[in-house]
Chain A
Amino acid sequence: MRVLLILALCLLALPLRAEEVIAGLSQRSVSLTVNFEGSEILIYGAVRREAPLPEESDLNVIITIEGPPQTTVVWRKARRAGIWVNTDRQDIRAAPSFYAVATTGPLREILSQDADLTHRISTRLAIFEARGVADPTERATFTEALIRVREAEGLYQQHDGGVDLERETLFSTRLTLPKTIVEGRYAARILLVRDGEVIDEVETFIDVQKAVLERWLTNLAYEQPFIYGLLALFLAVFFGWGASALFRLMRN
């Protein structure tokens, strides 16, 4: 009797894990080399299924990539003495330096608000505002401005319908990392959604790092600024003096 009950429970539980996501990335690391112009990442995968395809609901896939969070300041300009000056500021406790959401359909329609809140999927929810003194509407204005500014720079992206899903099994999307991305670990999430709820989720990472020379220069600049300054001067003297000496030689 007990065995039967457990079996029955298992069967009941089974549909919840009946669909599982398996995903891959075209690259796991991005190198910011001398000629870095931005990078396109292909995210693809399949849905593994042990039960037959449920008929009454549609499967949706949501893919997000999130760059390392940073404390951020949003400024607002106002006219002072005829010129436009930064006057008001709002601090953001943590905002992703990059955030992209791609879905198989309109995010608002395929995902319930609760699920969005739990999994923090839409861009607005990936940003943590500082609990400041400013009134909530004012705070929201600044956060929306942050999203607008970063969307214009390609740092925040929302692609409704950007994920191709074939026969509810194979999916793929391409997301572009612009040339202004910062270094760090980028989290890529792939979520399966049915009836507005997330039924499975996997997370994987993309490491974005400056290439050897760029890495070395940045480290030197921040850790040994004095030596870096001397290097900058040496290069200036070397090229400035060296090149004119070279031209003098060529003339004679």
Chain B
Amino acid sequence: MQVYLPIAETSVNAFTLLGVGGGVGMLSGMFGVGGGFLITPLLFFIGVPPAVAVATGVNQVVASSISGVLAHLKRKTVDLQMGTVLLIGGLIGSLIGIWFFNLMSRLGQIDLIVQLSYVIFLGIIGGLMLQESLRALIRSKNPSAPKRKLHKHYWLHNLPFKMKFRTSGLYISVFPPLLVGMGVGVLAAIMGVGGGFIMVPAMIYLLGMPTKVVIGTSLFQITFVAAFTTMMHAVTNQSVDVMLAIFLIIGGVVGAQIGTRVGLKLKAEQLRIALALLVLAVCGKIAFDLLWPPVELYSVTVPGRF
């Protein structure tokens, strides 16, 4: 069965879409990752124009993080102060990202920019994940290995405008969280991702936040930044396709439920290695397309269409 996407102006197989949404949803349920960084490139592969894939991907992020953030708010595991600072940074970053995205669209280079950012970020994430999970695997076999020390103070924390973050028990400058939030905002606008994969490690290792509030706070920031970015894409370049979004969201929500249950029964370490390899494979495919001499050197665009 085909679905006609009114904004992308093409049709794709409905089951493929549900499969992409469901598969990525399952992964996100199993690992607690948002999965935006896999949805968008998978959409490229099935023929959705990159601009539409990015804007719709970020819309899907809203759906996949909303119930999480509500649950965390109820459990009071959100540092609202820190969340707000991260959010302000995120909104600024999103604006910068949107401006850059539209500039590159006009220059006809947006596909390249999106693909390049994916190669770089998927390469980094996949590499780190693989390293981390291999290390965890070794550690689990050899429990006497030393553990890493958390929460160090860097010079970054001593910049001016210090602020007290009660829930996190931190007294640090607002600049590091603002910058972290901003970086994530830029990524949301250009890549259509939530950015949890960058923000969570940054919050733990760079800001030194206690792990129990990290997930809730990052989801808080992601939900609002993704919502804002969706609006900005819809208003400035009309590239959000709600028909596409609905299929991805439905697939994603169902997949996440299955994934959460499956995840409990499987061994986490091996699964992490599999996820890392999947991320690296997607990265490799995009990189290959950029590096390998294309069969057709020419491409056609129609201004105002995707």
Contact = CB atoms under 8 A, between A and B. Distances in A.
Given A71-B302, A179-B4, A229-B231, 7 more contacts: A34-B243, A37-B2, A217-B7, A225-B234, A235-B245, A236-B249, A237-B66
Interface in B86-126: 108-109, 112, 116
A240 B67 contact: yes
Contacts of B257: 244, 247
A221 B7 contact: yes
B62 A34 contact: no
Interface stretch (B153-161, B192-200, B287-295): B287-295
Contacts of A57: none
Given A225-B238, A228-B240, A232-B234, A237 B62 contact: yes
B137 interface: no
A19 B19 CA distance: 57
Interface of A: 32-37, 70-79, 82-86, 89, 97, 142, 145-146, 148-150, 152, 179-180, 182, 210, 214-215, 217-218, 221-222, 225-226, 228-233, 235-237, 239-241, 243-245, 247
A180 B11 CA distance: 7
Contacts of A180: 9-10
A140 to B, nearest CB: 13
Contacts of A70: 302, 305
Contacts of B7: 217-218, 221
Contacts of B246: 235, 239
Contacts of A244: 67, 253, 256-257
Given A180-B10, A240-B253, A34 B300 contact: no
A179 B64 contact: no
B4 A240 contact: no
Nearest to A214: B6
A77 B286 CA distance: 16
A245 B67 contact: yes
B66 A222 contact: no
B144 interface: no
Indicate the size class of the contact surface on chain B: 35 or more
Contact of B240 (A36, A229, A239): A229
A222 B238 contact: yes
Given A37-B11, A217-B242, A245-B67, A75 B299 contact: yes
A240 B302 contact: no
B66 A240 contact: yes
B268 interface: no
30 contacts: A32-B6, A34-B4, A35-B1, A35-B3, A37-B2, A72-B300, A75-B298, A76-B297, A76-B298, A79-B293, A82-B291, A84-B291, A84-B293, A85-B109, A85-B112, A148-B296, A182-B305, A214-B4, A221-B238, A226-B234, A226-B235, A230-B231, A232-B59, A232-B230, A233-B227, A235-B249, A236-B62, A237-B62, A243-B67, A245-B67
A221 B67 CA distance: 26
Contacts of A239: 63, 246, 249-250, 253
B303 interface: yes
B60 interface: yes
A77 B63 contact: no
Contacts of A89: 108
B70 interface: yes
Contacts of B242: 217, 228, 231-232, 235
Contacts of A35: 1-4, 11
Interface string B202-237: 000000000000000000000000010011011100
